[in-house]
Amino acid sequence: MKRHKWKLAMYEKAGIVPWKNLIVTYDDENGNLDARIIEAEIINKLL
């Protein structure tokens, strides 16, 4: 989590802001991603 927070801070310093011009995804406790949720976010934010 520490590295994740550092990485997001570096992105923001470069003008890359989560949910503005960066879509952030997280896997569940088993390492799975729900592609339907990701697709819905892309459609909602970008199209």
List all residues 6 or more positions away from 38 whose beta carbon is below 8 Å from its beta carbon.
23, 25
If one counts every other C-beta atom within 10 angstroms of the C-beta of residue 11, the result is 15
pLDDT of 32 reads: 94
- 14-46 tens-digit pLDDT: 999 988 888 888 889 999 999 998 899 888 887
Half-sphere exposure (Cβ direction) of 35: Cα atoms closer than 13 Å? 0
pLDDT of 44 reads: 86
List all residues 6 or more positions away from 24 whose beta carbon is below 8 Å from its beta carbon.
8, 18
